[in-house]
Amino acid sequence: RKTKTDRVDARTIATMLLSDVDLKSYTDTAYHNEELKSLTRYRFDKVRERAKLKQSVSRLVTILFPELEKLVPSLHIASVYALLSEYPGAKQISEIHLTKLTNLLATASKGRYGKDKAIQIRDAARTSIGSVMPAKFLELKHTIKLIRELTSEIDEIEVSIQKIMDELNPPILSIPGVGIQSAAMILAEIGDFSNFESPDKILAYAGCSPSTYQSGKLTNCYAHMEKRGSRYLRYALYNATKYVCHWNPVFAEYLAKKRAEGKHYNVALSHATKKLVRLIYALQKSGKAYLVAA
């Protein structure tokens, strides 16, 4: 039978309220943290979905107009998407009037590409080895449409994240190289820093700690990363570390030092990540901004 033990529930609640347990109220910070966690994870999934679609675009272009990739800095720019949305194959592009192609590229690239680029692309299309496959043409056009829709959704999510971060204004943003999105995901996944006794606890929570293996007298010589815990936090920390090592001379020097010791790039980066976590922990606990060394 489906029963509801109201008396038992009431007694449990009353006992909890009468106890000496220090209950924390639901604060604005906790609310913002939950909002950030939902938004950053949602954005993470959307970005990964878009990345897969971009791989599909690259695959389809290789089939339909393989020469195009060498004529542009990237297939995933507005001018290329505008071109392929209208003319998804080399055959269609080869038949476009030069003026029409020039205007299309100039408008989509905001004047960066003109007649010279249009001639270059059309000439390549006329001698292309690309296949003529109507089904693939349709797939390419639809894939680009989906990418544009996802980009619009991601932009909307990022606006919401920006609003919350503007209210919080965390010290972590004062670190050169730490952007809004990485900072938001790090804060969202860690939550209340007072729940962690030390930076090492955060590293363990992210799954960035080295694993240990012992069997009798045997102890592993090359400890691999655990990769347990929050994959979102682990991704955000490593992504942030790459940019911090690029923009912050102190971290750049530290990374170079580890590389000079003969460590693999990923191993050296993991050491830099530990250093970054210690810095983030200190800043968030103290509430002070990062001061760049003169």
* CA distances to 54, 132, 139, 144 from 135, in Å: 18, 9, 6, 15
Q: pLDDT tens across 181-228, in order?
A: 999 999 999 999 989 999 999 999 988 766 555 555 555 545 555 567
pTM exceeds cut of 0.85: no
pLDDT band at 291 (very low <50, low <70, confident <90, very high): confident
Q: How far apart are CA 248 and CA 244, in angstroms?
A: 5
Q: How far apart are CA 56 and CA 62, in angstroms?
A: 10
Q: How far apart are CA 224 and CA 246, in angstroms?
A: 25
Backbone region of residue 287 per phi and psi (left: phi > 0; alpha: psi in -120 to 50; beta: other values):
left
Q: pLDDT tens across 33-73, in order?
A: 899 999 999 999 999 999 999 999 999 999 999 999 999 99
Contact 171, 190 (CB under 8 A): no
Q: Domains of the chain by range and CATH?
A: 47-157 (1.10.287.4070), 169-293 (no CATH)
pLDDT at 7: 77
Contact 186, 172 (CB under 8 A): yes
Burial class (CB in 10 A: 0-12, 13-18, 19+), 131: middle
Contact 91, 25 (CB under 8 A): no
